[in-house]
Homo-oligomer: A and B are copies of this chain.
Amino acid sequence: MTNTTTTAHTNIALIKYWGKKDAQLRLPYTDSLSLTLDGYYTTTTTAFSDATHDQIYLNKQLASTKFAQRTKNYLDLVRQKYQVEQHFIVQTDNFVPTAAGLASSASGFAALAGSLNKLLNLDLDNTQLSRLARLGSGSAARSIFGGFVRWYHGNDDETSYAAPINNANDIPIRLLSVVFDTNTKKTTSTTGMEHAVQTSPYFVTWPQIVQQDLQQMLHALDQKDLKLVGQIAENNALAMHALNWTARPAFSYFSADTTDLLAFIRRLRQQGLLAYATIDAGPNVKIISSTDDISVVQQQISQHYPSAQTTILKPGTAIH
């Protein structure tokens, strides 16, 4: 029996993905750009089953949650796409704290796609794997690769996939995950982005912002200008959250702590530290910093917010 065990790391978008133009194929309105993170990852093993249904284990427990249902839907899709009849046993171990607001669906569907690639002898290369992972979760398309990654939005299944940005891999970037709130988010990213796309009057401008931020980000990565990388990422994240804020009715992933921390990060910058914020579909914040400054940033955050959990994250590797 083949060893189908596959590990994929989660990723954080520095240029955000917000809005699907095709919900079924998970085709985004815009390109996005991410950093794959070490430390937080998913390991998945798949096997054929003689049963008449799929069995999904999450962290050694048989799962019957939304997670299991979403996984089964994905397996249906894979069965149809590759004309497979059999059911599967999926064993997933998640080393992504849900509370961190980091998408375990990104590493999860990347690892699942990778494992099925081995089990079904599909012999897909990483570009093909990126497309396949995308069908499970948009951001999973990016978790196939290590380091900085660009997801080309494309126009159809064939043209929407991610690729690594190889010239940026020696940038001394570090991230600090700051967790205030360990409750699961109230509005999922799928629901949130759909509402923002449909109702925010600013959404028409969002694709232009992404286009401009992306070009500047590619330039900043090329120049290895980490300060500029942080600046663009923070600007882009705020522009993304402004879409939610101006959805009608408005919603926000920010808590009072989020707003307070954003102001505190500005003060860290005034002290000369490299510190920029990026925020996803939850109240917690990831601070973009450098190998030089990350320890001081962590120390200052821990002093100012004693109840926050902080974790330093480094760039992570491709699926393996």
Q: Which of B209, B250, B254, B259 contacts A235, CB < 8 Å? A: B250
Taking a contact as CB atoms under 8 Å apart, the answer to whether A242 and B252 are in contact is no
Q: How far is the CB of A277 from chain B (nearest CB, A)?
A: 10
Cα A259 to Cα B254 in complex, Å, equals 8
Cα A234 to Cα B249 in complex, Å, equals 9
Q: How far is the CB of A245 from chain B (nearest CB, A)?
A: 5
- Those of A200-246 within 8 Å (CB) of chain B: 201-202, 204-205, 208-209, 212, 231, 234-235, 238-239, 241-242, 245-246
Taking a contact as CB atoms under 8 Å apart, the answer to whether A246 and B242 are in contact is yes
Interface membership of A260, Cβ < 8 A: yes
Taking a contact as CB atoms under 8 Å apart, the answer to whether B239 and A235 are in contact is no
Q: How far is the CB of A175 from chain B (nearest CB, A)?
A: 19
Interface membership of A194, Cβ < 8 A: no
Taking a contact as CB atoms under 8 Å apart, the answer to whether B242 and A202 are in contact is yes
Taking a contact as CB atoms under 8 Å apart, the answer to whether B252 and A262 are in contact is yes
Q: Which of chain B's residues have a CB closer than 8 A to the CB of A256?
A: 256-257, 259-260, 263
Q: Which of B239, B250, B263 contacts A202, CB < 8 Å? A: B239
Taking a contact as CB atoms under 8 Å apart, the answer to whether A248 and B235 are in contact is yes
State the number of copies, please. Answer: 2
Interface membership of A258, Cβ < 8 A: yes
Interface membership of A311, Cβ < 8 A: no
Q: Which of chain B's residues have a CB closer than 8 A to the CB of A208?
A: 201
Interface membership of A255, Cβ < 8 A: yes
Taking a contact as CB atoms under 8 Å apart, the answer to whether B254 and A201 are in contact is no
Q: Which of B205, B249, B255 contacts A201, CB < 8 Å? A: B205
Residue of chain B at shortest CB distance from A257: B256
Residue of chain B at shortest CB distance from A234: B250
Taking a contact as CB atoms under 8 Å apart, the answer to whether B201 and A212 are in contact is yes
Q: Which of chain B's residues have a CB closer than 8 A to the CB of A255?
A: 259-260, 263
- Those of A73-126 within 8 Å (CB) of chain B: none
- Those of A257-276 within 8 Å (CB) of chain B: 257-260, 262-263
Taking a contact as CB atoms under 8 Å apart, the answer to whether A204 and B201 are in contact is no
Residue of chain B at shortest CB distance from A202: B202
Cα A231 to Cα B199 in complex, Å, equals 14
Cα A245 to Cα B238 in complex, Å, equals 6
Cα A202 to Cα B242 in complex, Å, equals 9
Cα A234 to Cα B247 in complex, Å, equals 11
Cα A260 to Cα B255 in complex, Å, equals 7
- Those of A15-33 within 8 Å (CB) of chain B: none
Residue of chain B at shortest CB distance from A243: B242
Q: Which of B201, B258, B259 contacts A209, CB < 8 Å? A: B201
- Those of A166-207 within 8 Å (CB) of chain B: 201-202, 204-205
17 A-B interface contacts by CB (under 8 A):
A201-B239, A202-B202, A202-B209, A202-B242, A204-B205, A205-B205, A235-B246, A235-B249, A235-B250, A238-B245, A238-B250, A242-B242, A242-B245, A252-B259, A254-B259, A255-B263, A256-B260
* 10 tightest Cβ-Cβ pairs between the two chains A and B: A256-B260, A242-B242, A256-B256, A259-B259, A202-B202, A201-B209, A239-B246, A256-B259, A242-B246, A238-B245
